[in-house]
Structure 1
Amino acid sequence: MSRVLIADDEDSMRSLVARAIAMDGHEIVTAEDGAEALEILSRENGAFDLLLSDIKMPIMDGIALALTAARDFPDVTILLMTGFADQRERASGLDAIVHDVVTKPFSVADIRSAVARALASRKA
């Protein structure tokens, strides 16, 4: 299956999303913030199919992470998630590099579907 890197500063959300996506057989790697996610991406030479990141995080937010990841690892599909309308607005200008923005709260089925759509777009 696919390799997915999840970046979220909330332990419970990170673990919920990781478990949900793992149900579909994907290999999951997690990071507590954007800086750690970027470190993992760099260390593994961008060897991920999908970067799933929260937007609002300390140290490096999801927007900065998405911009850097898209520049350095253009083959990685990017999916963002947020519970804040203003953060969603910030991401709206990133259509060229971000597949979609998933609004929190979401169900396990919602996040699994969003990930499946993002991964399917890679093959198109």
Structure 2
Amino acid sequence: MARILVAEDDPSVRAFVVSALTMKGHEVLAAEDGGLAAELAEEEQGRFDLLLSDIKMPIMDGIALALEVASKFPHMTILLMTGFADQRERAHGLDALIYDVITKPFTLADLLAKVEDALAGKPVEVVSLARRAMQA
């Protein structure tokens, strides 16, 4: 399975995400803000398959974290999370660096499906179209 770095400042969301990903067999390291996540990425020399980060966090937000991680570890897939529409808009400028943005609140199934798609490198447009067709 994959090595995943989670950056999330909300303790309950962080626990939910870590628990869900661990139960799926992934090795998960978690940080409570972007600054600590950047330090973990550096300490681990970028040995993560995926960075899953909230956008709005203290110390270093998810956008700054994504920029730093992408510049140092371009092989790492980056998936962002947010509950704020304005933050989602900020992330759209990073289309070349990030895989996608998950909108909070999300279900366990949504989270696991998006992480699986990101790890598999499935094109976001294809995934979105397929899901819409299944729901119709």
TM over 0.5: yes
The within-5 A match list for 1:33-112 is 33-112=33-112
How far did residue 24 of structure 1 move? 1.4
- Relative to the length of structure 1, the TM-score reads 0.97
Cα distance in 2, alignment partners of residues 49 and 68 from structure 1: 16
Give the AA of the match of 2:108: V
Cα distance in 1, alignment partners of residues 93 and 60 from structure 2: 18
Deviation string for 1:62-85 (max 9, x for gaps)?
A: 000000000001011000000000
Give the AA of the match of 1:84: F
Deviation string for 1:54-111 (max 9, x for gaps)?
A: 0000000000000000000101100000000000000001010000000000001100
SS, match of residue 30 in structure 1: strand
How far did residue 21 of structure 1 move? 1.2
- Relative to the length of structure 2, the TM-score reads 0.88
Cα distance in 2, alignment partners of residues 96 and 22 from structure 1: 28
How far did residue 20 of structure 1 move? 1.0
Determine the structure 2 residue equivalent to 1:118.
118
Give the AA of the match of 1:56: K
- Give aligned pairs, total: 122
Unaligned 5+ segments in structure 2 are 123-136
Cα distance in 2, alignment partners of residues 17 and 24 from structure 1: 11
Bigger radius of gyration among the two: 2
Give the AA of the match of 1:9: D
Structure 1 moving runs of 4+ over 3 Å: none
Cα distance in 1, alignment partners of residues 13 and 32 from structure 2: 11
Cα distance in 1, alignment partners of residues 23 and 109 from structure 2: 11
How far did residue 118 of structure 1 move? 0.4
Q: Percent identity?
A: 61
Q: CA-atom RMSD, angstroms?
A: 0.8
